[in-house]
Amino acid sequence: MDFTQIVPAMPALWEGMLLTLKMLVLAVSGGVALGTVLALMRLSSNPLLSGLAKTYVNYFRSIPLLLVITWFYLAVPMLLNWITGTFVSVGAFTSCLVAFMMFEAAYYCEIVRAGIQSIPRGQLHAAYAVGMTYGQAMRLIILPQAFRKMMPLLLQQSVILFQDTSLVYAVGLMDFLNTARSKGDIVGLPHEFLIFAGAVYFVISFGASTLVKRLQKRLAV
């Protein structure tokens, strides 16, 4: 075992980690936003909207993430090509990002939906009683309270996504894990590099989970 070779590879590994984190932050933002829209649709009294959202959620929860990633890598450029009529090149990063956003939105939707449903009905009535529209009531009264309640769950789901971003290796993106694997292969020390990568994922994920649990306790008081 020779871990000293990891030191010269640090700049490349750091680049990989930056890509992982960038993907994570963008996918969580987009996923939560889309998930919130889906949750509002699911809770809508309009059967078409709630049916659409329900189908979406059930569909994406029933297929593997790896499939979605490869599918989007091939489908998104084709779709854009078909819509715009000209050839548009979509990088692997963008297609992965769209895949993560759409896949995670299905999970975030269920979290947000439960969060909204946990807010007492009286809050909505109080907002309506002073003349707020549905949009204002959601934006100013219900969602701020719901997000406070579901923050631990959203973060926990995001820790899972942090690990799942490593699936981008399938389309050749150099994230942290893929960089570590490739660097290890080059210098002929694959085990050391993978053990190191595993340790980094563990420290970050476990650290984040511990923080989330602490936050959960504080919010519960």
Nearer to other proteins among residue 111 and residue 141 (C-beta): 141
Q: Which amino acid does the sequence have at 181?
A: R
Nearer to other proteins among residue 136 and residue 210 (C-beta): 136
Tokens encoding 21 = 């984190």
Compute the distance between CA of residue 17 and CA of residue 187 in angstroms, rounded to an integer. 20
Site string for other proteins, 133-152 (x = CB under 8 A): x--x---xx--xx--x----
Residue count (the chain): 221
* Binding positions for other proteins, 103-122, rule CB under 8 A: 120, 122
| Listed residue (22, 32, 19, 53) closest to 158, CA to CA | 32
Q: Which position among 78, 126, 211, 215 is part of the footprint of other proteins (CB under 8 A)? A: 126
Compute the distance between CA of residue 138 and CA of residue 46 in angstroms, rounded to an integer. 17
The helix or strand, by DSSP H or E, that contains position 95, with its residue range, turns out to be helix 92-117
Count of residues in contact with other proteins, rule CB under 8 A: 17
Q: Which position among 81, 94, 123, 163 is part of the footprint of other proteins (CB under 8 A)? A: 123
Stretch that binds other proteins, among 78-86, 130-138, 173-181, 212-220 (CB under 8 A): 130-138
Nearer to other proteins among residue 1 and residue 129 (C-beta): 129
Compute the distance between CA of residue 202 and CA of residue 217 in angstroms, rounded to an integer. 22
Least distance in angstroms from the C-beta of 103 to other proteins:
30
Stretch that binds other proteins, among 14-22, 48-56, 61-69, 123-131 (CB under 8 A): 123-131
Q: Outline where 118-189 has alpha helix (H).
A: 121-129, 134-136, 143-164, 176-187
Instruction: Convert 128-141 to b/e letters by CB count within 10 Å (16 or more is b).
Output: eeeebeeeebbeeb
Nearer to other proteins among residue 55 and residue 118 (C-beta): 118
Least distance in angstroms from the C-beta of 64 to other proteins:
38
Residues 6+ apart with CB under 8 A from 168: 23, 69, 92, 96, 175, 178
Q: Does residue 8 touch other proteins according to CB under 8 A?
A: no
Least distance in angstroms from the C-beta of 216 to other proteins:
17
Catalog residues that contact other proteins under the rule CB under 8 A: 120, 122-123, 125-126, 128-133, 136, 140-141, 144-145, 148
